[in-house]
A and B are shown apart, each in its own frame.
Chain A
């Protein structure tokens, strides 16, 4: 009975969500030009309409996807992922690790225990790195924002190339045989056997989805709004082709520069993507923009500092170097092709 009620409420929720979502553009236009005294084609009008349309759209998409991903993630605990990956051959292991990185719950604050847990359980070093690259880079918040602001093509490109970077850089690190650059105490660590493997029912999984929405949307909504507000400003007031000379295709150096600039920026995807989308509209090249986003999201100084506890400097430098090089390759490739 309660199951039936949950299904009915769920379906009603999805229908309402869809009705609201599909009328956002109309409502935004009406609010901007009929309620507010703004003129069509004016700078301010374009900015306001952009903000009034994009912010509810992105937040609604985010809530829906985070809820779904929260449920999916209840099936993939880090312990389970470790069991799947331990003893796997490289190559197959790298691909699996990158894919599992999308669905396994991960927070960069747990990077160290996760690293030790994986390596001491016999997950090869390169495979562990494939996971560590994919988990933060290919995440649902980034994908939702990319889908919402750029469309499914760019979101798909990001997903595909992000996975490829995780697979390739993990594989290369594995080939380099850098096990001796892990701090010695890691291997002396006695890891206990996880006792947690609770079987969850559907009500618990739905609750986890709801909790994920509360936690993640609660964390990023402000960044989303600020990002869209800045994007709206650029959208309405910055002249067309303003970015072409700085971030356009012609400027080859813009790709490495974008990656370099991205490293110290630890902003989450939520704040950066709307800004970057507006820049793209003003003549920035897609490859450069993708490289910048990937660098901001995947390479962060705080993470390097956290990982220093388990990795010697050479391995950290190699890790950053390989991932940065792969991101640049993606940037150049897209600037060349598109």
Chain B
């Protein structure tokens, strides 16, 4: 069970990333739970300065962008 965390204070891009992540994970059949982290202090503890960002099991994979669908799939595929 992977823990996917979407880091973002609730802007439009953060919601878009959450949707894209769920879709990509669904297509990969990845066993995971998706959590939105909106508290700024918690976000900062991940060491990111730009949102939205994605962390898998506590490790930040990227920050400040929404990757393309294929890119997202290859990122999620590589952690499996």
Tell whether A pairs with B: yes
Residues of A within 8 A of B (CB): 78-79, 82, 105, 107, 109-110, 112-114, 116-118, 120, 185, 189-196, 309
A112's partner among B40, B59, B62 (CB-CB below 8 A) is B40
Q: Given A109-B11, A185-B41: A194 and B47 within 8 A (CB)?
A: yes
Q: Given A78-B64, A309-B40: A113 and B45 within 8 A (CB)?
A: no
For the complex, what is the distance from the CA of A192 to the CA of B50, rounded to whole Å?
13
- Binary interface encoding of chain B residues 44-62 relative to chain A, with 1 for a CB under 8 A from any of its CBs, else 0: 1111111100000001101
For the complex, what is the distance from the CA of A147 to the CA of B60, rounded to whole Å?
39
- Say whether B49 contacts A194, CB under 8 Å: yes
- B64 — which chain A residues lie within 8 A by C-beta? 78, 105, 107, 110
| Cβ contacts A to B, 29 pairs, < 8 Å | A78-B49, A79-B49, A107-B50, A107-B64, A109-B13, A110-B50, A110-B64, A112-B9, A112-B40, A113-B9, A113-B43, A113-B51, A116-B49, A117-B44, A118-B49, A120-B44, A185-B41, A189-B44, A189-B45, A190-B44, A190-B45, A191-B44, A191-B45, A192-B44, A192-B45, A192-B47, A195-B60, A196-B48, A196-B60
- Say whether B48 contacts A113, CB under 8 Å: yes
- Say whether B51 contacts A191, CB under 8 Å: no
For residue B51, give the distance in angstroms from its CB to the closest CB of chain A. Answer: 5
For the complex, what is the distance from the CA of A127 to the CA of B45, rounded to whole Å?
23
6 extra A-B contacts, CB within 8 A, seeds A107-B64, A113-B40, A196-B63: A105-B50, A107-B50, A109-B51, A112-B40, A116-B40, A185-B41
Please report which residues of chain B, range 1-48, place their CB below 8 angstroms from some CB of chain A when the two chains form the complex: 9, 11, 13, 40-41, 43-48
